[in-house]
Structures are given as structure tokens and as C-alpha cells.
């Protein structure tokens, strides 16, 4: 597929700009803070230092009319320079051949072509991310035909409980048995959240949307998560984050470095919100997204899913 250019992105944004005025999202997360000492348990920091707050309320549905970019030629894979990640495009530009092989392996071994997963924190809860595409038919009908097809392809994956989408999640938390809330009872005894998700849901694609609650051993845990997905035949999509709570942007840099190392597509969400007031952030702690940023992540996330699905299934 042809890369999503900045001009095409601007056209999409213009089409949904009116609806953004009506989006209201109240979001809250557990907020673990990092300490110098690292526990033997990978998610100890995420639980001992968490502050429990109310769940986010459901955002009102908005009618988002979107034109999906089409292509007639295949893009030439670009050399990705990790030092210039802030200049990278918002959307992935090509699907690496290695990921096509992962996808084929996953299908051959029982992954569900109608399932995708999310590894995330409060920004990835269905209420504020993609859930509307399962719960609001009128919203789906306003989308471009290609996006409607993708919604139909993954119906049921948008608004669902997942042990890998939890308030305050960190990379390490998804590798900790005690973090598995198992709310719907389909996880096995003593099963890690990530292991339960890929065993039960069998996703062909997984968004990695972690990092707001960063940890000292972030890279180690991310490697384990990425390798578990790849071994399962699930194609990961790395997503940069909007905030810089760590003050030196090392989390996004780490995400980019691992994306290059493992040849994984990148959704550069950070770039999506840089032109917004306060760079798309809301609140004194610079952790929550603004209403407009939540609306952008909702439509951008669907566009990325559409792109990945078509790039994988067309080969």
C-alpha cells in the first residue's frame, strides 16, 4: 500500500475536525512512580505505588467521515534512523517481509484472522480507544468503505475485556501473574496476562501501547513481550506515546530502537498530537490526553489497523 502522506493525513483531519468539538473524554489511570530499587517482581512498581482512581467515562460517539488513502504502487522500504524518530511519518510506510512471514506462520498455527489485541494502559481502554467501532453502528456507517470493511473484519475485537489492557499497566505488569485480573474467567491458573491474551484471543495483530508508566527495566520487559507475540505468529505494531513523563523521552526512543531491531511497523502517535494545544496533553501531570487527542487516536488507530490488515492479507 502507498504510504499515508502528511497531505492525506491533513485531509482526513479536516473531515473529522467538526466532530472533535463534541468529543468528551474523562480518563483516569493508576500512576505508579519509578524508584531506584527494582523489585524481583516485574510489576511491583506498578502496584505498590499505584493510586486508584475512577474509570474513564465513555466518550460520546462522534460521526467521523474518513477517506482512506489508496495505492497503485508499492512503497520502497525506507532506512529508518532512530535518532530522527520525531520526523517519522505518523503512519507506517511499509510492511516488512519478516512480518508477513510472522503473519503467515500465525495463520497456519491457528491465529484468528478476525482478531487483534492491544497491550496498553488507560489510554487503550475500549471507552477511549477503539470500542466505539463495536458499539456505535452509526459511527461505523459514516466511515470510508475500506474502513467499514476492516471494522467488519475485526468485529468483536474493538470493545472487549482483555487482561492486557488495564489501568496503570506497564511492560512488566503484563509479565506478572498477579496483574491478571481474569475478569471473564477464561485465563488459566497462574497464567501471565500476555500468555492468556494470545492463547485465548489468538490475534493476528497486536498494538503495543505502553510506556506512560515507565519502569527501570522497560527494555527487558518489552523484549519479552515482543518475542512472545512473534513466537505466537502475531504481528506487533509499536506505538509512540504523547507524554514525556520521564523528562528525557527515553521511553519513545526505546520503543523506536526495538522497532528497528525487530523490524516492526511503527505508529508514531507522538507526531499526531504535536500541533494540538499543549501537544495533546491534559492535566497537571501531563499524562492524560485531551479530548481532541483521544478523538485523533481513535480514528488513527483504525487507519493503522486497516493498513496492517490489508498489507498482510494482500500478500
* 3-class secondary structure per residue, 65-89: CCCCCCCCCCCCCCCCCHHHHHHCC
Give the model's pLDDT for residue 217. 81
Average pLDDT over residues 187-216: 94
Quote the pTM value.
0.79
Structural domain including 181 reads 85-288
Higher pLDDT, 133 or 5: 133
Give the CB-side neighbour count of residue 281, counting CA atoms within 13 A.
16
Q: Kindly state whether residue 222 falls inside one of the protein's structural domains.
A: yes
Is the Cβ–Cβ distance between 31 and 50 less than 8 Å? yes
pLDDT above 70 as % of the chain: 75
Give the model's pLDDT for residue 78. 59
For the chain, what is the mean pLDDT? 82
Q: Kindly state whether residue 198 falls inside one of the protein's structural domains.
A: yes
| Contacts made by residues 6-15, CB under 8 angstroms, sequence distance 24+ | 6/89, 6/90, 8/69, 9/90, 9/91, 11/67, 12/66, 12/67, 12/299, 12/303, 13/296, 15/64, 15/65, 15/66, 15/67
Confidence grade of residue 272 (pLDDT, cut at 50, 70, 90) = very high
Higher pLDDT, 227 or 44: 227
Q: Kindly state whether residue 132 falls inside one of the protein's structural domains.
A: yes
Sequence-ordered alpha helix ranges (H) in the chain: 6-20, 44-48, 97-108, 132-135, 137-141, 145-153, 193-201, 218-231, 250-262, 269-272, 291-313
| Chain segment 218-246, per-residue pLDDT in tens | 899 999 999 999 999 999 999 999 999 99
Q: Kindly state whether residue 76 falls inside one of the protein's structural domains.
A: no
Residue 76 has pLDDT above 90, yes or no: no
Q: Kindly state whether residue 309 falls inside one of the protein's structural domains.
A: no
The CATH number of whichever domain residue 188 belongs to comes to: 3.40.50.1110
Query: Based on the structure, what is the number of domains in the chain?
Result: 1
Given the DSSP bridges, would you call strands 288-289 and 281-282 parallel, antiparallel or unpaired? Answer: antiparallel
Give the model's pLDDT for residue 286. 78
Residue 89 has pLDDT above 90, yes or no: yes
Residue 308 has pLDDT above 80, yes or no: yes
Confidence grade of residue 173 (pLDDT, cut at 50, 70, 90) = very high
Residue 50 has pLDDT above 80, yes or no: no
Mean pLDDT check: name the lowest of 63-67, 104-108, 132-136, 306-310. Answer: 63-67
Amino acid at each position: 500500500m502507498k504510504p499515508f502522506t502528511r497531505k492525506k493525513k491533513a485531509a482526513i483531519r479536516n473531515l473529522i475536525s467538526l466532530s472533535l468539538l463534541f468529543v468528551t473524554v474523562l480518563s483516569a489511570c493508576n500512576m505508579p512512580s519509578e524508584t531506584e530499587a527494582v523489585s524481583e517482581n516485574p510489576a511491583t512498581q506498578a502496584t505498590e505505588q499505584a493510586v486508584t482512581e475512577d474509570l474513564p467515562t465513555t466518550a460520546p460517539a462522534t460521526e467521523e467521515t474518513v477517506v482512506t488513502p489508496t495505492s497503485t504502487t508499492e512503497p520502497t522500504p525506507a532506512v529508518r534512523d532512530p535518532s530522527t524518530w520525531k520526523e517519522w511519518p505518523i503512519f507506517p510506510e511499509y510492511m516488512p517481509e519478516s512480518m508477513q512471514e510472522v503473519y503467515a506462520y500465525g495463520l497456519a498455527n491457528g491465529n484468528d484472522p478476525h482478531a487483534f489485541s492491544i497491550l496498553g494502559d488507560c489510554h487503550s481502554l475500549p471507552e477511549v480507544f477503539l470500542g466505539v467501532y463495536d458499539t456505535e453502528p452509526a459511527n461505523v456507517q459514516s466511515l470510508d468503505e475500506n474502513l467499514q470493511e476492516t471494522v467488519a473484519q475485526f468485529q468483536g475485537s474493538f470493545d472487549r475485556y482483555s487482561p492486557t489492557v488495564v489501568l496503570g499497566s506497564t511492560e512488566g505488569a503484563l509479565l506478572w501473574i498477579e496483574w491478571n485480573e481474569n475478569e471473564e474467567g477464561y485465563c488459566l491458573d497462574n497464567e501471565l496476562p500476555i500468555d492468556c491474551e494470545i492463547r485465548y484471543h489468538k490475534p493476528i495483530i497486536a498494538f503495543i501501547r505502553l510506556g506512560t508508566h515507565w519502569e527501570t527495566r522497560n527494555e527487558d520487559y518489552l523484549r519479552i513481550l515482543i518475542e512472545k507475540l512473534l513466537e505466537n505468529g502475531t504481528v506487533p505494531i509499536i506505538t509512540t506515546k504523547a507524554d514525556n513523563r520521564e523528562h528525557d523521552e527515553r521511553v519513545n526512543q526505546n520503543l523506536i530502537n526495538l522497532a528497528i531491531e525487530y523490524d516492526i511497523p511503527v505508529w508514531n502517535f507522538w507526531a499526531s498530537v504535536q500541533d494540538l494545544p499543549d501537544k495533546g496533553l491534559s492535566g497537571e501531570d501531563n499524562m492524560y490526553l485531551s479530548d481532541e487527542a483521544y478523538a485523533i487516536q481513535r480514528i488513527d488507530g483504525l487507519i493503522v489497523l486497516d493498513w496492517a490488515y490489508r498489507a498482510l492479507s494482500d500478500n
